[in-house]
Structure 1
Amino acid sequence: MIKILKIRPWPFKNETVTLHWIGNVKIENRQWLIQAAFVHRNECTIIELPIAALPLLRIGTPYYDGLPMQTQKKGMLFKIKVDNVKNGSVSKAIDVCRNLNYFLYKKPELMNQNIWSFQSGGATYHIPQTEMIRALFAINKTLTNALLRPNGLDLLVNKVSINQNRTAAIDFSDEIPGTIMTDDFARYFGWLYLHPEMKQSYSSVQSNSYAMMANGINLKGIPLEMTMPNTNEFNLTVRGMQRIDEILILEWLASDLADPPFTEINIQHKSVKKRVYTAEKRKNRLSKQEQSQEHVLNENNGERSREDANQPVIDLEPTQMAFRQSTIVNRIPKQEQKVNQGDEYISNSGQGGGVQQNVVGLDESIFGGKIAPIEFKTMEIADTYMNYGLDYFIEMIRYLAGYYTHMSVSVNFVFLPLGRKFSYLPDGRRRVCAIGKVSNGMKESFIIEVAVPDNRSLSMLIIPSLGSAHKSEIHIQGLLTKLVFNSGSWSNSFLKNQVHNKIRHYDETARNWAKRIIYYL
């Protein structure tokens, strides 16, 4: 199973750097590129990546060797009630970030980014439009590449319809790889395509970009901009940084924005086949090597990805979108697939099951391309919104940050590693844990609280930092993996040689909870 994709080019050898901001887009060698600004030791370096790398980029996240360190993100969690996305105003990053003391290193390609600002609950929230585009539209490589292509969504379908009974039908084009043609993708795409406001907003990214290009040449590129959709009230969870009553949103984590105009959807795609069973012998193809676990992004813009209907898919840290109503997906076969059910015979010929190419591409595939293409999944479709049972923990963390002002406190959500039943909640969602990072100037500690809305008994875990973000990331991810493979238990079998404190849960106020754990921090 393919697990990771490393960002390339990567000029930061053996260094931990933080993604500080996302910059402009530009065309080079007939490919769209996007700028990512990383900061290390108070120096800002901008690298250019394929536009389809946008889902890999989460502002405020440290990276090492091209990989994000998910447990080390900066910021706090905020739950927001948004009355209508359209109710807000646009401004430039330089104006917003100056007021929030968020330094953009005098880089024009960072300062001219578009910020959407809106008010809720007496506070003003500011979110980069690049982050909104990532969270709402850049859910995989295919849809991200289509963002800046004229009629990008329309070119991904052959035919779309919806009747008065709220039953939709979509015949998807062959351009979409079969490996991403899941029921959840169909639900999301149907909502995006058949909701007029959302489709227009998606299309506006391309039309706004081409309009800016037509108005003049800018060697540093142009900022992404979207037209805000008219929406109903919805809930939004974000990670951000606060200064008085203003919050800079670094990452859009989850929402219940999706309200599809259909209750049932019939989909067609070349990968949807009717199985015809035969009594012929079954082939079992053997491979002498296991699939590679590590892939690096192609950094030669002159080389293009080849066409491949069965592109491998990497599961990235997902953004959650809760649908306000359940939708039925019916898969309508276009062709037949013969399935042999006879005796098995062994074959070691052919290329199937071998090692995947190490260098992979995120550009649009072309006939005659040489680079192996790769896809990814970065959205979780759910029927419920963020009810992980962690609200009380977040309240306690907020009390820590507000009362013990000499401490530096941050918190973020991390999805548990895959591999066992405990990785998922009973309703099918990925299980998450909240990770708080607390520093008093002399000591840094991590507080790990795993979501157990299914009423499993699991203590909070407090561990010390290992001195660097990279070492702590490896340590925490290792502990979470062992937790998953020990059926959700902080077992002494892997904790006995670790410095740690397990804190039991009691029915108490957030204030008393915070005072009880301060001794260990």
Structure 2
Amino acid sequence: MGRMQLKLKNWPFDKGIKAQLIWIGEPFKYQNKWMIDTYFNDGKSTKKVIQDWANIHFLSIDKYYIDGDLKSGKLIDKENKTKVIDIDLSGITPKYNENDWRIKGTDCRSKSRTYNFYKNNKLYTIPIIEIVRSVLAPNTFMLNNILYNNTFEDYFTYEINDEILKLYFNGSYKTSNLKDTYFNHFAWIISNRNVLNMVESIGYNNCFKHKMMFDFNMKHFKFTARVKENKAGYTILEIIKLKEKRINFNEIQVFHPSLEEYEKSDGSKKWTYINVNRNKGDKRVIDNELDGANKMTESIENDFIMHEYVKLPEIHRQKTGHANKHTKVDEQTKIYFKNDDNNRTFADEGGFNTGAGIDVSNIDLKYSKLSGELQDFINVLQQLRKMDGIKSVDINIIFVPLGRKFSHLKDGINRRRCIIGRILKTNREMIGIIEVEREGKALSTLIVKSNNKMIKNIVYDELLEGLIFESGKWSNKKINKLKIKGIKIERVIHSGKYCNINNIIKKIQVF
């Protein structure tokens, strides 16, 4: 078997033509996933190639690519302008630099964002996107999630006991990502607060400021890089190895729903899969038009980026469940054929669907299948619609913010939800109601009203952030702060299992 090829389906150059990567743009949203514009020049013309954002794992400025193969990048340096050197920038605070940039051979313009490090009268310039690609997000999972705000909590929570890190993954985290290299990287981020702040600020700035930026604050920064020398110093083109990463844990304990103790059984399999590959071989076609990945994942090992650790912790996968493993295939076994056409994507599974609110326009149809306390509260809101003086009742069902254990239900897997009801009265006044999935917890319902009639979303955001920060209690500090701004907030205490409809009606009438 030869070297696996990862060929771009939309490669614009003729077969055998070598094209140099001259520019990597910033990520942008297209059809529910993150993409980038890349520019290649073959010596005659510059052409734009739109790619999935996570493809940057294989992309390096100034390298030449042939036939769209992401793994074919080679350096052609006839003038010996580049070299590989070891660099130590530990303890140096860099300066952020942003400049307008015209892309060679085109009329397109972009922004150059770099960090400039000064050491021993030399300037070391590192593109921000290279720090993200090679240092903070060296694998597909990190690349696909680092652009989202507080994304880790969508997949796992963690606890620190002495020098033990416990990672509690939920079912959204793919079993194919249960890798030691991933666990080590998570542990490095979590055990180094400055690095964690960098990772978190990337998602925040990307979501709210629409910029790829962060405050660089790594105390220990040693690496091997391919650089281009200039009069002032060096431009870092590619970080090849990050050196001496320090993990401040001796042990990592991993929990995941798939980690079960299997016992072999003589019973028949309920189903089995047979792969049918029409296009066998070492070629994979990277299709930028795919919306995202399905459940099937193919792992590819490579040495494009290397991370070196001072000391690695022990990793223990905790098997908390039991299951029977059936091994026999007989006439009772259903056989499914999976057709693999060799098309691949580095985009996240299912595209962008994390952290999205559920907009409800017709609660009678949309949420008739809800059960438990949220359905009970929806029934309460249905009764409010029948009240005199009420023009309409609209609902959003959203996930509470991430950041604490209370962000998830007691099972540690499913995200906790809340209902935000917006009640429009006939006099045009707006009243908001917040009800959180409680699981029996003594947590009151909040009723909110603004002197300006309209209630901005930031009011709900602040209240829910305070709730999470206080680990499941409404934050008096947040409430008092909002009251100073003219926001009226009343609490309705739950009477036993159900919310007291009469108390809610009274609060609304006197507001």
Q: How does 1:343-422 map to 2 (within 5 A)?
A: 350-351=335-336, 356-366=340-350
- Post-superposition shift, 1:264? 0.5
Which residue does 2:312 correspond to in 1? 326
Which residue identity is paired with 1:298? D
- Post-superposition shift, 1:120? 3.5
Q: Distance in 1 between matches of 2:190 and 2:280?
A: 36
Which residue does 2:93 correspond to in 1? 87
- Post-superposition shift, 1:94? 5.6
Q: How does 1:23-172 map to 2 (within 5 A)?
A: 23-41=25-43, 43-67=45-69, 68-72=71-75, 74=77, 75-84=82-91, 87-92=93-98, 104=104, 109-110=109-110, 112-157=111-156, 159-164=157-162, 166-172=163-169
CA deviation profile, 1:330-386 (whole Å, cap 9, x unmatched): 0012433434678x989997346x6523222333323999xxxxxxxxxxxxxxxxx
Which residue identity is paired with 2:286? L
Which residue identity is paired with 2:187? G
Which residue does 1:5 correspond to in 2? 6
The answer to whether structure 1 residue 207 and structure 2 residue 191 are counterparts is no
The answer to whether structure 1 residue 197 and structure 2 residue 213 are counterparts is no
Distance 1:292 1:138, change over 3 A: farther
Q: Distance in 2 between matches of 1:340 and 1:80?
A: 54
Q: Secondary structure at the match of 1:247?
A: strand
TM normalised by structure 2 equals 0.60
Q: Distance in 2 between matches of 1:346 and 1:320?
A: 49
- Identity between Structure 1 and Structure 2 (%): 16
The answer to whether structure 1 residue 19 and structure 2 residue 21 are counterparts is yes
- Post-superposition shift, 1:13? 2.2
Distance 1:336 1:5, change over 3 A: farther
Q: Distance in 1 between matches of 2:255 and 2:239?
A: 31
Match among 185, 188, 204 for residue 185 of structure 2: 188
Q: Secondary structure at the match of 2:301?
A: strand
Contact 2:276–2:340 (8 Å) recurs in 1: no
Q: Distance in 2 between matches of 1:288 and 1:31?
A: 29
Contact 2:275–2:340 (8 Å) recurs in 1: no
Q: How does 1:245-284 map to 2 (within 5 A)?
A: 245-278=232-265
The answer to whether structure 1 residue 174 and structure 2 residue 175 are counterparts is no
The answer to whether structure 1 residue 311 and structure 2 residue 308 are counterparts is no
Q: Distance in 1 between matches of 2:352 and 2:240?
A: 38
Q: Distance in 2 between matches of 1:153 and 1:341?
A: 36
Q: Distance in 1 between matches of 2:318 and 2:185?
A: 18
- Post-superposition shift, 1:317? 3.8
- Post-superposition shift, 1:241? 0.9
- Post-superposition shift, 1:122? 4.2
- Post-superposition shift, 1:210? 3.0
Which residue identity is paired with 1:161? E
- Post-superposition shift, 1:230? 3.4
Distance 1:206 1:281, change over 3 A: closer
Distance 1:244 1:368, change over 3 A: closer
Contact 1:178–1:270 (8 Å) recurs in 2: no
Q: Distance in 1 between matches of 2:76 and 2:119?
A: 24
The answer to whether structure 1 residue 336 and structure 2 residue 358 are counterparts is no
- Post-superposition shift, 1:73? 5.3
Match among 228, 237, 243 for residue 216 of structure 2: 228
Distance 1:335 1:125, change over 3 A: same
Q: Which has the greater radius of gyration?
A: 2
Distance 1:48 1:285, change over 3 A: closer
Distance 1:105 1:242, change over 3 A: farther
Which residue identity is paired with 2:83? M
Contact 1:94–1:104 (8 Å) recurs in 2: no
Distance 1:143 1:367, change over 3 A: closer
CA deviation profile, 1:180-230 (whole Å, cap 9, x unmatched): 2112211111222342211111121122223434xxxxxxxxx52222123
Contact 1:284–1:347 (8 Å) recurs in 2: no
Distance 1:287 1:126, change over 3 A: closer
Which residue identity is paired with 2:20? T
Distance 1:141 1:357, change over 3 A: farther
Q: Secondary structure at the match of 2:57?
A: helix
Contact 2:254–2:316 (8 Å) recurs in 1: yes
Which residue identity is paired with 1:37? Y
CA deviation profile, 1:372-403 (whole Å, cap 9, x unmatched): xxxxxxxxxxxxxxxxxxxxxxxxxxxxxxxx
Distance 1:228 1:336, change over 3 A: same
Contact 1:286–1:347 (8 Å) recurs in 2: no
Q: Secondary structure at the match of 2:297?
A: coil
Which residue does 1:497 correspond to in 2? none
Contact 1:265–1:330 (8 Å) recurs in 2: yes
Which residue does 1:490 correspond to in 2? none
Alignment coverage as a number of residue pairs: 344
Distance 1:335 1:368, change over 3 A: farther
Distance 1:173 1:120, change over 3 A: farther
Q: Distance in 2 between matches of 1:361 and 1:287?
A: 19
Distance 1:107 1:126, change over 3 A: farther
Which residue does 1:239 correspond to in 2? 226
- Post-superposition shift, 1:292? 4.5
Q: Distance in 1 between matches of 2:260 and 2:76?
A: 43
Q: Secondary structure at the match of 1:142?
A: helix
Distance 1:60 1:136, change over 3 A: same
Q: Greater relative contact order (Cα 8 A, min sep 6): structure 1 or 2?
A: 1
CA deviation profile, 1:431-474 (whole Å, cap 9, x unmatched): xxxxxxxxxxxxxxxxxxxxxxxxxxxxxxxxxxxxxxxxxxxx
Distance 1:346 1:262, change over 3 A: farther
Q: Distance in 2 between matches of 1:228 and 1:260?
A: 19
Distance 1:123 1:306, change over 3 A: closer
Q: Distance in 1 between matches of 2:76 and 2:332?
A: 47
Q: Distance in 2 between matches of 1:312 and 1:347?
A: 29
Q: Distance in 2 between matches of 1:364 and 1:191?
A: 23
Contact 1:274–1:333 (8 Å) recurs in 2: yes
Unaligned runs of 5+ in 1: 98-102, 214-222, 370-521
Q: Distance in 1 between matches of 2:242 and 2:352?
A: 41
Q: Distance in 1 between matches of 2:346 and 2:126?
A: 26
Distance 1:104 1:119, change over 3 A: farther
The answer to whether structure 1 residue 298 and structure 2 residue 287 are counterparts is yes
Backbone CA RMSD of aligned residues: 3.4
Contact 1:180–1:313 (8 Å) recurs in 2: no
- Post-superposition shift, 1:307? 3.8
- Post-superposition shift, 1:271? 3.4
Q: Secondary structure at the match of 1:315?
A: coil
Distance 1:291 1:125, change over 3 A: same
Q: Distance in 2 between matches of 1:211 and 1:287?
A: 43
